[in-house]
């Protein structure tokens, strides 16, 4: 059960030596089940595989807050007991997914509720700071949407508060960090299976206005906080952040500099936030990510690509493919893997959830269809199970030892968090601060049309 | 109501034990308390898929030793008392889903702790050095999921930093002896059956009370 302990320390040799599909599954902590292993008529015990429930609350019930509520309603152990928004119709709409939740207009009142254990902060990004800090002070586990904030100072204040609240779980809404498919793919990059990293490219294309409408003009202005530079970190801060974060994670480095360009091409409706942006983010060793994000065209939607000297990797819709060079070493298992054609290229499917295919032996060559669960699902699952696990760890420690020994407790919790991370990974305050700084500075480069060189201390908690 | 009654019984028992401990303390035995860092407990088992382990770092309790033994350890029966407890939830398999299954199998909601009480301890032979290792044959009561069984176990003791004692040992147990049905959860498409035989091993760090922060 602990096979994934050494996941990140693997070297390329071990990786290739053991590179059968079954081994890959094992490395991911999965259980390879072949058709012949399937149980016949045996009955199992009736134990539940989901852990203890966490009473959740949502602060900010706009479009994204309601999306979170919908996903939470699908989890068996995430009852939503309270919701908060200053706009009553949002609360009403939220009731569809959270019918039993008590409603609040003032988040302070919500935080006073003892039964609330975990709080989701999905308000406009520039309003996160006070809510997150108050929630942590009230002893609640916090899931803060990305970006953490719209200024580097606020983002750092949030990260510092989260670090100080060691007895609580803090997670950032960078859900791609919880995606099993991306963790699976990460090995190909980190172990050098794609050769030396040459460059990266990513995009997010969607023809849509980003404007929200309401019959209440005052409310409409508030709802469109994303369209004004005063309150919005722009496309790169609200959307690009996730893909920029992926690049930093896969390339395993902080960015060195960023240049950016932006324009208002399609939606020149009085907004001052560009609807089309392009950035080049430079990493150490002359590795660069080129990224574009637009509301003017939807061609090819969204994906990320990593190019190495032996292969290119593509990830889209939480599915991944490898495109090999003719002179790259044979890994072995790819001969049997499913291939998909992309115009004139053959992509070898890299299927992290192949364990869920009914008959792996027979059907590995067929497309598994869309991923069963979204990265958001895995992120929320991680939040629920980590929050309860950390709370119980604190209780168990306190019931056994002298709690005045803060150092010993901190050490114990650090170990627990490490174990949890291997099981259901998440983005914490450190990843949140790094991604927010990267995206905010990229936005600065876009708006000023200038190159921004990253200072090491921007990424530090101080 | 049943739970309340159980809780009452447990609290009452705990109070009695504390009282007993207070009385015992008067007889001048050296008391060593569990330390919050450095202890390890491991449960190893099997299943139809692969072997599994659960690890924990929390071992609470105390040991009291007869000062006569401290002065000149001789083979044979040793004056000692010990109570040990491990919170069931602190045992981690690395998979939240399996932890959940194990906690239900061990009836964690009613019996949140694994407990052990030493009843007899004898030194096998004089140690090579005063720091040990000392090897003891021990007998005691192991309580899992509320069921008590007598177990015999070989325990090793080493001295560290003068005031600290490290105990280590291991014992095989059968889940069914403690009324625990070996979990056979349906995960994904398969039924995973765990084996009845498991091994518990531990390393327990204790320190003389004067040296603790209490």
Residue A419 and residue B92: Cβ atoms within 8 Å? yes
- Are B83 and B98 contacting, i.e. CB atoms less than 8 angstroms apart? no
- Residue range A146-159: mean pLDDT, rounded: 98
pLDDT band at A107 (very low <50, low <70, confident <90, very high): very high
- Return the structure tokens found at B78: 């040793």
Side-chain-side CA neighbours of A125 within 13 Å: the count stands at 32
pLDDT score recorded for residue A22: 43
Nearest CA in chain A to B213: A405
Residue B188 and residue A385: Cβ atoms within 8 Å? no
Question: What's the CA gap between A437 and A236, in Å, rounded?
Answer: 11
pLDDT above 90 covers what percent of chain A?
Answer: 76
Quick: pLDDT tens for A231-289: 999 999 999 999 999 999 999 999 999 999 999 999 999 999 999 999 999 999 999 99
pLDDT band at A193 (very low <50, low <70, confident <90, very high): confident
Does ipTM exceed 0.90? no
Residue A45 and residue B181: Cβ atoms within 8 Å? yes
Given 3-state DSSP classes, what are the helix, strand and coil percentages for chain A, each rounded to the nearest 5?
45, 20, 40
Helix (H) or strand (E) holding B53: strand B52-56
Which residues in chain A are closer than 8 Å to B49, comparing Cβ atoms? 31
- Return the structure tokens found at A421: 């991370």
CB atoms within 10 A of CB A102: 16
Q: Nearest-CA distance from A384 to chain B in Å?
A: 11
Q: Nearest-CA distance from B125 to chain A in Å?
A: 33
Antiparallel, parallel or unpaired: β A302-308 and A339-342: unpaired
Residues 39-78 of B with CB under 8 A from A: 49-50, 52-53, 55, 57-60
Kindly report the backbone phi and psi dihedral angles of residue A2, in degrees, each rounded to the nearest multiple of 5, phi listed first. Answer: -105, 20
Question: What's the CA gap between A376 and A359, in Å, rounded?
Answer: 27
Sheet of A197-205: strand order equals: A339-342, A345-350, A319-324, A311-316, A302-308, A197-205, A287-294, A276-283, A257-263, A452-453
Instruction: Please state which of the ranges A313-317, A330-334, A411-415 shows the lowest mean pLDDT.
Output: A330-334
Asked if residue A318 has pLDDT above 60, the reply is yes
In whole angstroms, how far apart are CA A313 and each of A2, A418, B192?
A: 28, 28, 34
What count of residues does chain B have? 214
pLDDT score recorded for residue A35: 35
Q: Nearest-CA distance from B118 to chain A in Å?
A: 18
pLDDT score recorded for residue B6: 53
Pick left, alpha or beta for residue B92 (phi over 0 → left; psi -120 to 50 → alpha; otherwise beta). beta
pLDDT score recorded for residue B1: 45
Gyration radius (Cα) of chain B, Å: 18
DSSP for residue A236: I
pLDDT band at A13 (very low <50, low <70, confident <90, very high): very low
Question: What's the CA gap between A151 and A148, in Å, rounded?
Answer: 9
Asked if residue A327 has pLDDT above 80, the reply is yes
Instruction: Please state which of the ranges A95-109, A179-193, A378-392 shows the lowest mean pLDDT.
Output: A179-193
Quick: pLDDT tens for A334-386: 778 889 999 999 999 888 755 444 333 434 445 555 557 899 999 999 999 99
Question: What's the CA gap between A224 and B172, in Å, rounded?
Answer: 64
Question: What's the CA gap between A149 and A379, in Å, rounded?
Answer: 19
CB–CB contacts below 8 A, A to B: 121
pLDDT band at B15 (very low <50, low <70, confident <90, very high): low
Mean pLDDT score of chain A: 88
Quick: pLDDT tens for A17-40: 444 444 444 444 443 333 334 444
pLDDT score recorded for residue A17: 41
The H helix count followed by the E strand count for chain B is 3, 13
pLDDT score recorded for residue B185: 75
3-state class of A10 per DSSP?
coil
Q: Nearest-CA distance from B174 to chain A in Å?
A: 17
Residue A393 and residue B98: Cβ atoms within 8 Å? no
Least CB–CB distance from A412: residue in B57, B101, B191: B57
- Return the structure tokens found at B38: 């450095």
pLDDT above 70 covers what percent of chain A?
Answer: 86
pLDDT score recorded for residue B54: 95
Quick: pLDDT tens for A394-404: 999 999 997 77
Q: Which residue is listed with tokens 């932006």?
A: A262
Q: Residue A407 burial by CB count (10 A; 0-12/13-18/19+): exposed, middle or buried?
A: exposed
pLDDT score recorded for residue A365: 45
Least CB–CB distance from B53: residue in A1, A51, A385: A1
Asked if residue A84 has pLDDT above 80, the reply is yes
Residue A48 and residue B94: Cβ atoms within 8 Å? no
């Amino acid at each position: 059960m602990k096979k994934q302990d050494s996941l990140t320390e693997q070297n390329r040799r071990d990786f290739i030596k053991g590179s059968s599909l079954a081994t890959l599954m094992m490395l991911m902590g999965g259980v390879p089940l072949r058709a012949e292993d399937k149980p016949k008529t045996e009955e199992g015990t009736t134990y539940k595989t989901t852990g203890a429930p966490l009473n959740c609350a949502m602060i900010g019930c706009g479009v994204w807050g309601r999306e979170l509520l919908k996903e939470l309603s699908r989890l068996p152990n995430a009852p939503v007991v309270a919701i908060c928004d200053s706009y009553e119709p949002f609360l009403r709409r939220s009731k569809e997914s959270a019918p039993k939740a008590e409603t609040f207009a003032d988040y302070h009142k919500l935080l006073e509720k003892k039964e609330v254990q975990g709080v989701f902060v999905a308000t406009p990004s520039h309003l996160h700071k006070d809510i997150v800090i108050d929630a942590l002070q009230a002893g609640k586990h916090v899931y803060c949407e990305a970006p953490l904030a719209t200024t580097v100072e606020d983002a750092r204040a949030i990260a510092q508060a989260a670090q100080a609240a060691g007895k609580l779980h803090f997670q950032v809404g960078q859900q791609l960090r919880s995606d099993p498919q991306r963790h699976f793919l990460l090995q190909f990059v980190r172990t050098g299976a794609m050769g030396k990293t040459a460059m990266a490219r990513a995009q997010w294309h969607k023809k849509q206005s980003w404007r929200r409408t309401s019959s209440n003009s005052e409310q409409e202005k508030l709802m469109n906080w994303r369209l004004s530079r005063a309150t919005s970190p722009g496309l790169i801060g609200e959307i690009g952040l996730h893909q920029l974060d992926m690049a930093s994670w896969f390339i395993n480095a902080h960015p060195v500099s960023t240049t950016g360009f932006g324009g208002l091409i399609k939606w020149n409706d009085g907004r001052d936030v560009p609807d089309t942006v392009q950035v080049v983010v430079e990493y150490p060793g002359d590795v660069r990510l080129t990224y574009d994000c637009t509301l003017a065209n939807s061609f090819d939607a969204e994906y990320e690509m990593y190019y190495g000297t032996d292969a290119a990797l593509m990830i889209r819709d939480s599915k991944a493919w490898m495109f090999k060079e003719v002179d790259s070493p044979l890994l072995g298992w790819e001969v049997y893997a499913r291939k998909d054609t992309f115009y004139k290229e053959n992509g070898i499917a890299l299927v992290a959830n192949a364990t869920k295919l009914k008959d792996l032996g027979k059907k590995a060559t067929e497309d598994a269809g869309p991923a069963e669960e979204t990265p958001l699902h895995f992120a929320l699952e991680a939040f629920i199970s980590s929050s309860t696990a950390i709370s119980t760890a604190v209780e168990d420690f306190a019931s056994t030892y002298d709690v005045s020994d803060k150092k010993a407790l901190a050490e114990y919790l650090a170990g627990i968090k490490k174990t949890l991370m291997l099981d259901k990974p998440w983005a914490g305050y450190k990843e949140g601060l790094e991604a927010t700084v990267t995206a905010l500075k990229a936005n600065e480069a876009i708006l000023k049309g200038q190159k921004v060189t990253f200072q090491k201390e921007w990424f530090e908690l101080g | 109501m049943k739970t309340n009654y159980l809780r009452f019984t447990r609290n009452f028992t705990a109070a009695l034990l504390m009282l007993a401990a207070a009385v015992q303390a008067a007889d001048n035995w050296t008391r060593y308390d569990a330390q919050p860092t450095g202890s390890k407990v491991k449960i190893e088992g099997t299943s139809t898929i692969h072997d599994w382990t659960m690890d924990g770092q929390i071992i609470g309790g105390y040991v009291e030793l007869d000062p006569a033994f401290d002065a000149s350890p001789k083979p044979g029966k040793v004056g000692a008392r010990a109570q040990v407890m491990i919170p069931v939830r602190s045992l981690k398999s690395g998979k939240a889903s399996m932890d959940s299954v194990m906690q239900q199998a061990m009836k964690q909601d009613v019996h949140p702790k694994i407990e052990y009480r030493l009843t007899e301890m004898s030194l096998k032979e004089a140690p090579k050095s005063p720091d040990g290792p000392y090897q003891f044959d021990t007998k005691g009561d192991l309580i899992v999921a509320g069921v008590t069984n007598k177990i015999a176990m070989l325990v090793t003791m080493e001295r560290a930093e003068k005031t600290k004692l490290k105990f280590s040992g291991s014992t095989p147990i059968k889940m069914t002896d403690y009324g625990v049905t070996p979990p056979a959860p349906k995960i994904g498409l398969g039924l995973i059956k765990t084996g009845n035989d498991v091994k518990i091993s531990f390393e327990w760090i204790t320190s003389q009370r004067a040296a603790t922060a209490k």
